[in-house]
Amino acid sequence: MLVVTEGLTKDYGRFRALDSLNLSIAPGEIFGLLGPNGSGKSTAIRLLLGFLQPTAGTATIAGRDCWRDSVHARQHISYLPGELRLYENMTGRQLIAFLSQLRGQPMPPRTDAFAKQLDIDIDRPLVQMSSGMKRKVALMQVLLPQAKLLILDEPTNTLDPTMRDQLLEQLLEAKGRGQTVLFSSHVLSEVERVCDRVGILQRGKLVHLQKMDELGSARRVRIRFATLPERLPDLPGFAGCATHDHQLSLDYAGPLPELLQWLSGQAVTDVRIEPAGLAPVYQRYHGVEVES
């Protein structure tokens, strides 16, 4: 495993921000951390980066302890923070060259081609760039070095929809090269699109691990009736049923033909069937606090 945490814990006085996190992430895996603000996502990331000393437990990257051997551990990482602080007296090109030198590497040869792909002028001073353009420069310096581990904290903040799609494609390409990606997000559709596994944090605890390929059979069904049926059919796979104003919303993991056969005998005025995805799993712990 490339990333391993065992009993990783962080206290701030009496407040426990992260509670005994046990997690393993394999090379070439895209792993998503989900949870509302205060759930422990940023604390976990900062512990992996060696920015914080754990109260208890350990974290390692490529066998290097993230606190005791943090310099060598960070040699395997490219990191995008949630809040950017860039050297705005530099141009984008100067910043990328400077950060490459800190890694002991030359300017990546695909810098200009990548800048063109992202539609950004990297010879422009950062101080003259919009927040979205600055975010693109930051993404370039994360993606260009081809580090073993990419850590991104809310990476699509301030990006327009087109750029969001490009970033997600870049993460999938990184996975194809054997790189590992760990990122946090509040947007379930992004996580569903690229992640192999997801961990849900609640009050500092890892409360659920989900393999994304296990969600394929679940569906979310929304039905509007002229008259609500007196009872649901006796079919396997019903869960999470709710009714409101002649509408029925439910999660269904059973055979679709049997559901459609039942619907054909009801006074249905509208029906929508779509993959349930992560929403029901997340809402089990956190209600409806993330964008789907």
Residue 226 counted as domain residue? yes
Which residue is associated with the tokens 């945490």? Answer: 5
Average pLDDT, the chain: 89
Same domain, 248 and 126: no
Contact 179, 15 (CB under 8 A): no
pLDDT in tens, 239-285: 666 677 788 887 787 788 888 888 888 889 999 988 777 877 888 88
Residues 38 and 159 in one domain: yes
| Interval 3-11 mean pLDDT | 98
Q: Is the residue at 292 inside a domain?
A: no
Where residue 52 falls (left for φ over 0; alpha for ψ -120 to 50; beta otherwise) is beta
Closest CA to 272 of 227, 221, 218: 221
Position 4, amino acid: V
224 & 79 share domain: no
Structure tokens at 181: 């990606």
Check pLDDT > 80 for residue 140.
Answer: yes
Question: Same structural domain for residues 204 and 226?
Answer: no
Residues 110 and 148 in one domain: yes
* pTM, rounded to two decimals: 0.81
Mark whether 19 and 101 lie in a shared domain: yes
Q: Are residues 33 and 87 in the same domain?
A: yes
Provide the pairing of β-strand 219-225 with 77-80: unpaired
Boundary (domain end) residue, out of 193, 213, 233: 213
> Quick one: 144 and 242 in the same domain?
no
Q: Which two tokens stand for residue 200?
A: 């849900």
Number of domains in the chain: 2
> Considering the domain boundaries, does residue 283 fall inside one?
no
Q: Which of 16, 2, 1, 14 has its CA nearest to residue 201?
A: 16
Helix (H, G, I), strand (E, B) or coil at 111: helix
Range of the domain at 227: 219-276
Give the tens place of pLDDT for each residue, 277-291: 787 788 888 875 444
